[in-house]
């Protein structure tokens, strides 16, 4: 972690760029552009917690650096409708509901559906590729890019300080299902004009070669369906309209109906179909209830849960907690990536499905998934067509940012113009040069139940200790003048390996230690608690070699 | 999970086979063979916990079904020296120290070193390939197999009921470093004799093709070392003698010294070198201290920690908690697999190393690892050369067992003779036919600090709740006749999102609820505790939408 250094006040005619999330991690993407006292935000997503962050529901970008400046925000550009780019919008709008949101039709439809659940009705402005919008000092121009959700946009930002291109998430599928390719002509035009800073999706920068076309997946899914004599269940991400399109087409080819299962799948595909992003072959989609009443060999269920999420449809099917049952003759296709960290959960689902007798097809066994991100080969094309003066990789862990930076250097970007930053790094652009102007402090903002930002690292550390060791609580009421125990010690332990009878040993020790402390002049409740903590801690450490959390409560009798 | 059905008493002349671990999981391998009242055990390993088993150190096979029959055990055959095959031996010998252990020289040396830490001196008997040993009704014959540790053995077991071949872990590297190949001539001979049951390592059965030769790794490591101008750190498993051999040779080629770092690495390589399994080129190995004083470009550190384990050498280097420091010009090679579930930890280490400026080489970027297990293509060879009458895949999750079974069927084993079982499945072999005779109940036996088998699923559930939600403890002393609170409520919470002041709200509610309960005739401590639990639970659920563990303590004032 770089030392925190407050940047100098921003000079007129300089563009400042600082990410509040998305660097050093895959998720909670949010970048702030500042010039002449105004702020433009690109994306506002969430990050999903890892196993060392137990109980956390979501992690937000740290709004801290702009919290007092929300009146200066001229708009939030949302590049596409994935959670890691739009998921934190409700939390931002809770602070100020009238910040304008800009995005493509599908992106805004997905954001609005999400905001509706938070009972927020936003100010929105729909844009499409080729549009330009002046937002304070920022002239924005939107460029079509291809990703694993339709209608994704890159945004070019022109100010008096120079020209920036910010890709959002993208890849360069040259044969996409909807024929909407990443607009390299526009990239070329911007390159001719002179791109001063290129903020580029680095997620797949360490993957050699090229991401395969989405189109190669459809025939594989169709073949799998054709070979299945029972039910087919396809699990994927609930926003992956093109993947679902291929499932619909493959089902139609095989004379099957498709039912969407799972709240987010039903909602998102409803939106996509209504807006024309999903082409539903005549009569192919039926409600889940209808499909449940049909012969199994005529049905495909399109569901969520491809990451083994315990509450999603697929896990519930495995656990026998869902109306849909799978067994012999049925096939389950996991048409999705395996996000690192989810392996155990996904393999649990696969084992469970196989134990039920179902056949399981996943990206390890057939081509049923391609990534949504540009691989190293594609990034080289981008760098060469743009010839950016400065490169700032975003959207990635350090190893991704580093790989994307190295690829830029390979194409001739000077090493000192290819940056690897972190959340809170402040870059200033002036005279075609990007320099590091400072480093803001950026924390993790945890959403936990209805609380936002109230639990912190200390709470999570407590939780990890509780998880690994459990706790012992000791209640004692005593005479403060003597340390004489009047009530207790009452001892309770949870998540702990031993029977309660083991504490018979320690009660007299506590009583003795408190009396001794009283003799030595201890009068204070807090000190008495320390005596209890030490006595119990030492005993449990040597006797059972454990270090549970010890919670002493001493009150005056 | 199959229903528990007690098998019928074992008829004379029938061989019974039941696994106490290792089926449905990768780890804690242990299989029991029973005939004429005698038991032969093959392997006795540990399983490492997953993230839903917090605080657990190790998981043991369930000795329950043989606990009262340890006098009948004629011996434990240990196929090789990996933890998942020998790690539970100390816990078995704690129950009866004089059970004889049979294994190859290296295997027994590793077991003895481990037992020494447990202060157990075992009864051992060294065997090698080609040896036969009569153990009660079991004639055992040992067969050389090739794996990611030297001196691995398969064991053929002849009884009056028939012939079994149990592979242990193996692959069929045709060009192994030590020229000790899996002995297919012996497999052929046993096949001619007639293998009635084949218990086979299924770990890589769902991997198509063939596992690449270990020998291909050496030149890659040598090239990486040659290109490095600073320090080289290689991390791998501490038992992988052949991998370490290649590192020694590569270091020697490049004029570097190697120092072993980490307790298990130092211990195991000491044993391997003493016994002649590791050939140390003249003067190449130096103590860590010596290496630390040498120019960085002359040193290779060979360490543990390739799985991102937080306490192992590599993680401590990343966190600046180790004497060895890495930075610019240095290279770290992760010469190991990435065990599913460890991805986040490993990527944290990789990101950290890269942030320190080091180059990181891993199996995703170069051929620095091959598996130790036979892939699908190799298993086909085995099935075809053996032509076993019955196949029982072991050593794998359900998906692996299923794949190994399907491969057997593909080679002509009748479907009903290719079994997919689970821990506790009881198979009986008689007249060349294996039948399922019952299903024993097999639990997880958790080692947790110094306790073995004392924590259970309920404790782990408590721990998961504590991890995700924290706890609230409430102490109250009251008059049982009236429910009148005399002392308290004292409320403490940990791992919980809120400030203590939030409890100001709930204290009067508790006092009121207890008084009402007293009026309604409650007199019992347990019932008063329920009142507290309900009152607090309802409040926290509706007010903060959380479900922490609630620990009420009510005592009589």
Q: Give the model confidence (pLDDT) of A137-190 as tens digits.
A: 999 999 999 999 999 999 999 999 999 999 999 999 999 999 999 999 999 999
Establish how many alpha carbons lie within 13 A of residue A139's alpha carbon, considering only the half-sphere containing its beta carbon.
9
In this structure, is residue B196 part of a structural domain?
A: yes
| One domain, residues A161 and A118 | yes
| One domain, residues B130 and B159 | yes
Q: How far is A312 from chain B (nearest CA, A)?
A: 18
B55 belongs to an annotated ligand binding site: yes
- pLDDT of amino acid B514: 86
| One domain, residues B377 and B340 | no
What is the mean predicted confidence (pLDDT) over A107-117?
A: 95
B473 contact residues in A (CB cutoff 8 A): 473, 492, 551, 553
Q: State the DSSP string of A140-201.
A: EEEEEEB-SSSSEEEEEEEETTEEEEE--S-B--SS-TTS----HHHHHHHHHH--SEEEEE
ipTM of the prediction: 0.84
CB within 8 Å: A398 and B450: no
In this structure, is residue A3 part of a structural domain?
A: no
In this structure, is residue A431 part of a structural domain?
A: yes
Helices B398-410 + A343-355 axis angle, to 10? 50
In this structure, is residue A45 part of a structural domain?
A: yes
Catalytic-residue membership of A524: no
B103 belongs to an annotated ligand binding site: no
- pLDDT of amino acid B493: 84
Compute the CA torsion angle B269, B272, B273, B277 (nearest 10 deg). Answer: -130
- Residue B29 is part of which domain span? 15-209+371-448
Task: Convert the pLDDT of each residue in A321-362 to its tens digit.
Answer: 999 999 999 999 999 988 888 888 899 999 999 999 999 999
Residue of B201, B206, B330, B428 marked active site: B201
> Which one of A463, A525, A553 makes the best mutation probe of the B interface by having the most chain B beta carbons within 10 Å?
A463
Catalytic-residue membership of B201: yes
Of A17-31, A444-458, B79-93, B100-114, least confident by mean pLDDT is: A444-458
Which residue among B344, B362, B380 closes a domain?
B362
Question: What is the rounded CA–CA span in Å between residue A278 and residue A280?
Answer: 6
| A473 within 8 A of A493, measured Cβ to Cβ | yes
Q: How far is B414 from chain A (nearest CA, A)?
A: 18
3-state secondary structure of A510: helix
In this structure, is residue B6 part of a structural domain?
A: no
H or E stretch covering A45? none
Report the residue from B365, B471, B497 with minimal CB separation from A471. Answer: B471
- pLDDT of amino acid A501: 72
CB within 8 Å: B448 and A344: no
- pLDDT of amino acid B88: 97
DSSP character for B375? Answer: -
The CATH number of whichever domain residue B233 belongs to comes to 3.40.50.10710
Mean pLDDT, chain A, rounded, equals: 92
A454 contact residues in B (CB cutoff 8 A): 497-499
Which residue among A361, A390, A422 closes a domain?
A361
Which one, of B280, B249, B240, lies nearest residue B83 by Cα? B240
B450 contact residues in A (CB cutoff 8 A): 544-546
Task: Convert the pLDDT of each residue in A504-535 to its tens digit.
Answer: 888 888 888 888 888 888 788 888 888 889 88
Number of domains in chain A: 3
pLDDT of A76 strictly over 90: yes
Which residue among B418, B448, B478 closes a domain?
B448
* Closest residue in A to B475 (Cα–Cα): A475
Q: Other CB atoms closer than 10 Å to residue B153's CB: what's the count?
A: 28
> Which one of A48, A54, A446, A451 makes the best mutation probe of the B interface by having the most chain B beta carbons within 10 Å?
A54
| One domain, residues A104 and A200 | yes
pLDDT of A479 strictly over 70: yes
The CATH number of whichever domain residue B499 belongs to comes to 3.10.20.580
What is the mean predicted confidence (pLDDT) over A18-23?
A: 97
| One domain, residues B27 and B161 | yes
Helices A105-117 + A263-274 axis angle, to 10? 140
Q: Is the pTM of this model over 0.90?
A: no
Of A126-140, A146-160, A274-288, A299-313, least confident by mean pLDDT is: A299-313
In this structure, is residue B8 part of a structural domain?
A: no
3-state secondary structure of A100: coil
| One domain, residues A119 and A243 | no
| One domain, residues A311 and A226 | yes
| One domain, residues A19 and A119 | yes
B462 contact residues in A (CB cutoff 8 A): 470, 494-495
| One domain, residues B160 and B221 | no
Give per-10-residue mean pLDDT for chain B (557 aa): 86 96 95 97 94 87 96 98 96 96 97 94 97 97 97 97 97 93 96 97 94 94 96 94 96 97 94 95 95 96 89 90 94 90 89 94 91 96 97 96 97 96 97 95 88 83 87 85 82 75 83 85 83 88 83 83
| One domain, residues B19 and B155 | yes
Report the residue from B352, B449, B455 with minimal CB separation from A545. Answer: B449
| One domain, residues A398 and A434 | yes
B166 belongs to an annotated ligand binding site: no
In this structure, is residue B3 part of a structural domain?
A: no
CB within 8 Å: B492 and A498: no
In this structure, is residue A170 part of a structural domain?
A: yes
CB within 8 Å: A553 and B347: no
CB within 8 Å: B341 and A344: yes
Helices A398-410 + A376-386 axis angle, to 10? 50
The CATH number of whichever domain residue A203 belongs to comes to 3.60.15.10
Q: Give the model's confidence band at A1: pLDDT under 50 very low, under 70 low, under 90 confident, else very high.
A: low
| One domain, residues B99 and B138 | yes
Residue of A201, A206, A249, A428 marked active site: A201
| B267 within 8 A of B113, measured Cβ to Cβ | yes
Q: State the DSSP string of B120-154.
A: ----EEE--TT-EEEETTEEEEEEEEB-SSSSEEE
């Amino acid at each position: 972690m770089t030392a925190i250094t407050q940047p100098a006040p921003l000079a007129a005619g300089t563009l400042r760029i600082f990410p509040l999330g998305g660097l050093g991690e895959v998720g909670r993407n949010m970048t702030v552009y500042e010039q002449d006292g105004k702020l433009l935000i690109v994306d506002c997503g969430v990050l999903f917690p890892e196993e060392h962050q137990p109980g956390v529901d979501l992690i937000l970008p740290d709004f801290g650096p702009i919290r007092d400046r929300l009146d200066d925000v001229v708009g939030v550009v949302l590049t596409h409708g994935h959670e890691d780019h739009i998921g934190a919008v409700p939390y931002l709008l809770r602070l100020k509901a009238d910040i304008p949101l800009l995005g493509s039709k599908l992106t805004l439809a997905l954001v609005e559906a999400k905001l509706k659940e938070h009972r927020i009705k936003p100010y929105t402005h729909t844009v499409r590729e080729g549009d330009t919008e002046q937002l304070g000092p920022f002239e924005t121009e939107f460029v079509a890019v291809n990703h694993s959700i339709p209608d994704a946009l890159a945004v070019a930002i022109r100010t008096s300080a120079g020209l920036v291109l910010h890709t959002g998430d993208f890849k360069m599928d040259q044969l996409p299902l909807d024929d909407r390719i990443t607009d390299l002509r526009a990239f070329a035009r911007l390159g001719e004009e002179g791109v001063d800073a290129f903020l580029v999706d680095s997620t797949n920068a360490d993957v050699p070669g090229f991401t395969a076309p989405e189109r190669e997946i459809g025939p594989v899914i169709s073949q799998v369906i054709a070979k299945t004599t029972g039910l087919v269940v396809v699990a994927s991400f609930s926003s992956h309209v093109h993947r679902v399109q291929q499932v619909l087409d493959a089902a139609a080819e095989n004379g099957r109906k498709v039912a969407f299962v799972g709240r987010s799948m039903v909602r998102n595909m409803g939106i996509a179909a209504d807006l024309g992003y999903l082409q539903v072959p005549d009569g192919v989609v039926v409600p889940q209830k209808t499909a449940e009443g049909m012969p199994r060999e005529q049905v495909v269920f399109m569901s969520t849960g491809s990451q083994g999420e315990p509450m999603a449809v697929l896990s519930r099917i495995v656990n026998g907690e869902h109306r849909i049952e799978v067994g012999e003759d049925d096939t389950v296709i996991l048409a999705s990536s395996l996000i690192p960290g989810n392996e155990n959960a996904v393999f649990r689902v696969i084992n469970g499905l196989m134990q039920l007798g179902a056949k399981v097809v996943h990206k390890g066994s057939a081509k049923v998934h391609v990534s949504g991100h540009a691989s190293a080969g594609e990034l080289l094309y981008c760098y060469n067509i743009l010839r950016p003066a400065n490169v700032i990789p975003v959207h990635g862990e350090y190893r991704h940012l580093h790989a994307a930076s190295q690829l830029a250097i390979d194409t001739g970007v000077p090493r000192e113009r290819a940056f690897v930053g972190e959340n809170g790094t402040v870059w200033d652009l002036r005279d075609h040069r990007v320099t590091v102007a400072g480093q803001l402090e950026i924390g993790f903002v945890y959403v936990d139940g209805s609380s936002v930002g109230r639990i912190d690292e200390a709470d999570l550390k407590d939780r990890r200790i509780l998880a690994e060791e459990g706790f012992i609580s000791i209640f004692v009421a005593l005479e403060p003048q003597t340390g004489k125990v009047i009530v207790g010690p009452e001892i309770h332990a949870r998540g702990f390996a031993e029977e309660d009878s083991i504490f018979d040993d320690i009660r007299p020790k506590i009583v003795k230690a408190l009396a001794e402390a009283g003799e030595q002049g201890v009068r204070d409740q807090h000190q008495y608690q320390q005596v209890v903590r030490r006595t119990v801690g030492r005993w449990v450490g040597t006797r059972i070699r454990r270090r549970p959390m010890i919670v002493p409560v001493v009150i005056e009798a």
